[in-house]
Amino acid sequence: MKILALNCGSSSLKYQLYDWKYKRVDCLGVVEKIGLDEPSLKHRNLDKSCTLKDSTLTTHANALTLVVNMLLDGIYGEINSMSEIYAVGHRVVHGGDRFTRSTRITDTALDLLGKISVLAPLHNPPNLAGIRAAKSIMPNALQVAVFDTAFHQSMPEVAYQYAIPRKWYNDHHVRRYGFHGTSHLYVSKRAAVMLGKPAKECNLIIMHIGNGVSVTAIKNGVSVDTSMGFTPLEGAIMGTRSGDLDPAIPLYMQQQLGTTADAISAALNRESGLLGITDKYVDRRDILQCAEKGDEQCKLAVDMEIYRLKKYFGMYAATLGRVDAVVFTAGVGENSGIIRQGVMEGLEHFGVFLDRELNLATVSSSGETMISTEESPVKVFMIPTNEELVLIEDVVGVLDGTYDDHMHYKYSFA
């Protein structure tokens, strides 16, 4: 049984074709810059890879058509006909409070997803575009949605409620939802394995640091608090998102600029964060390089990001009481020893002792690595995330009727 995993971003489409029978990834790739200048597809199967540039990649439907053609390609593909793809699993960022677990995509579910897209304006619209394209191109394949927000449904009310008029929650579902759930799920299970304890006995602080950033407190194996909130805008400083700020600021700036709420939302989501601080950079590699060369705004960006992450460590250490491990994951968390070191420095009184040399030498390709000293009471891990594997296994569970909440579902990686 072959399952296609799709992760559609605003201008990208990541994919992975998984053979469930042999438990292997047959091929994977990414389409980048959809609708922008010089869009391209990078594809890799079991023994070869290729890159294609195609100016016709203006929509996610165009991109998925190219992906399907690549899957069928006599040299780079791994299937002979579309009938071999039994199911398609879609990453969906925001499920609101209506989708609390992975689910089959029906017409009713698709309509409801359209209505809640406003909660994640950068993510859910392309997620939906991918779903609609897949249903059109692969009408016989079963479609399953896996939600980033589902993992955080275990948060207690004291953590997910905001101090706002009750009617906002009752009538408009305004509450903390949390994101990057599939990533936090995967690395929390792997951290438990590395600790040699059942997941239900582990207290963890997970730092998913990529272009988007979220920090999650895991108590006894489940999410009890997380930095992202009603939308993915809240929390740590991100590539282009502001993270936490005084809620009066957007109202003030709307009045000062005489602009619209949509314009302010766009500025906070697309023009803020590290890009806002440096006025030119989003990629941490560029920022760190320029900081080393003396660029003061880049230095400030690095210091601000580290400072905000350290604050979240302190809050969640207080929330958990006992911390077994801190876990770094995602693009920056896996590859930037400088960021990891900055966050963990000065936390020895919390029981955190980093192995500095090992930390700086550790990158994603190193695989799962303990980067704290052997004697450190609180362990520090770098664990490469694998959201696609969570997605694949959820799809299989939904389709064969074995799917359950993550504390009882038998994930292979746990």
Cα torsion angle, 366, 370, 372, 378, sign: positive
Report the alpha-carbon distance of residue 198 to residue 414 in Å, rounded: 9
- Candidates 356, 32, 376, 342; CA nearest to 209 is 342
The one catalytic residue in 148, 295, 324, 394 is 148
Annotated catalytic, 148? yes
What are φ and ψ of residue 13, in 5° steps? -145, 110
Report the alpha-carbon distance of residue 185 to residue 377 in Å, rounded: 23
Report the alpha-carbon distance of residue 215 to residue 92 in Å, rounded: 19
Q: Which residues pair with 144 in a beta bridge?
A: 89, 104
Report the alpha-carbon distance of residue 33 to residue 290 in Å, rounded: 25
Residue whose tokens read 């003030």? 252
Burial grade of 318 (CB within 10 A; 0-12, 13-18, 19 or more): exposed
Q: Which residues are catalytic?
A: 148
